[in-house]
Each structure stands twice: as structure tokens, then as C-alpha cells.
């Protein structure tokens, strides 16, 4: 995959929060599935960095996802209408 290619990353993440008073039987005890869409900046054995916005050489928002958390990475292509 080339740098700045549009990609969709499906990955598993930790979660939590303060729901107020709640029954612990209602808590999900597993990672949640997350879908992140953006532009590929870098991918190697450590993980993948996806950029959300780019203007010239500067970026505005990115996420690094560790390799072990990634389920799939798919290149996104422009659909013909």
C-alpha cells in the first residue's frame, strides 16, 4: 500500500467509562470492534498510523494502532457512478 492511500482499518480496542451506578452483569468483558477510515501514513511490524486530515505537508489528527489489535486493513478506492 502506498502512503496517503485511503484505508479502512478494523481493530479491537479496550473500553470503559463511568456509567453511574450499574449492575456489573451488564458490562461487556471483551474488546470492542472499531472501524477507522483515513489515509495510510505508515505500516510496519509495530502497527499502522492512519491520518484523518492533510493540508500540504501538515496533518491534523492521526491514530496509531498496534499490530496485535488489527483484524484487517483494506484499501479504499473511488467508486464509479
| 1-37 per-position pLDDT tens digit | 899 999 999 999 999 988 789 898 988 899 999 999 9
Angstrom distance (rounded) from CA 67 to CA 81: 35
Contacts of 23 (CB under 8 A, 6+ apart): none
Q: Is residue 32 part of a domain?
A: yes
**Is 61 a domain residue?**
yes
20 located within any domain: yes
Q: Decide: helix, strand or coil at residue 15.
A: coil
Residue matched to cell numbers 485511503: 6
**Domain containing residue 29:** 6-75
Residue 80 lies in a domain: no
Q: Where are the beta strands (DSSP E) in the chain?
A: 6-13, 32-44, 47-51, 54-55, 58-59, 62-66, 70-75
Q: What is the pTM of this model?
A: 0.86
* Number of structural domains the chain divides into: 1
499502522: which residue's cell? Answer: 48
Amino acid at each position: 500500500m502506498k502512503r496517503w492511500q485511503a484505508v479502512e482499518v478494523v481493530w479491537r480496542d479496550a473500553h470503559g467509562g463511568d456509567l453511574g451506578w450499574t449492575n456489573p452483569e451488564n458490562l461487556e468483558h471483551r474488546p470492542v470492534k472499531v472501524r477507522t477510515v483515513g489515509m495510510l501514513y505508515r505500516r510496519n511490524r509495530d502497527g499502522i498510523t492512519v491520518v484523518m486530515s492533510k493540508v500540504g505537508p501538515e496533518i491534523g489528527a492521526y491514530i496509531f494502532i498496534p499490530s496485535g489489535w488489527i483484524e484487517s486493513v483494506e484499501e479504499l478506492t473511488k467508486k464509479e457512478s
